[in-house]
Amino acid sequence: MKHVSVFLISVIFCVSGVLHFTHDTELVKITPLPYALEIVWITGLIELAFAACLLVPRFRRATGMLLGIFCLAVLPANINMALNDIPMFGSHVHPVGAWFRVAMQFPLILWILWATGCWQRADAR
């Protein structure tokens, strides 16, 4: 089950990483920092790197930990979208949906940490 989860998480972050380049102007709108376009592109590259590294067993555990931290780091963009009613990909996001997206970051982080074995001792894997 963990292998399937790792694969699915990798696909999710690969798709998300690609969206950072194909829909960068949309993602810039939710980025509450200066140099938003550059941040969107850099985070897209980071997501693509995470997606690839998850598939390499040797890097999986470290990638899981870093990816969990990354998800917390990008959480302000999701909160900004919910607070300021910012459309995503040309569509209005209902406030319930926007806040659901914020809330889902935490189960996503837990799923990543579980799937990548972050809670297992290194010698128990």
* Maximum average pLDDT range among 27-31, 40-44, 78-82: 40-44
CB 48 within 8 A of CB 14: yes
pLDDT tens readout for residues 68-95:
999 999 999 999 999 999 988 888 889 9
Q: Where are the domains of the chain?
A: 2-124
Of all residues in the chain, what percent carry a pLDDT higher than 70?
Answer: 96
Amino acid 37: pLDDT: 97
Question: Residue 57's closest CA among 125, 110, 11, 1?
Answer: 125
Q: Which two tokens stand for residue 16?
A: 């998300």
Share of the chain above pLDDT 90, in %: 85
pTM of the model: 0.90
Q: What is the structure's pLDDT at 89?
A: 81
Q: Which long-range contacts (CB under 8 A, 24 or more apart) does 113-116 make?
A: 113/64, 113/65, 113/68, 114/2, 114/5, 115/2, 115/5, 115/6, 115/9, 115/64, 116/6, 116/54, 116/60, 116/61, 116/63, 116/64, 116/65, 116/67
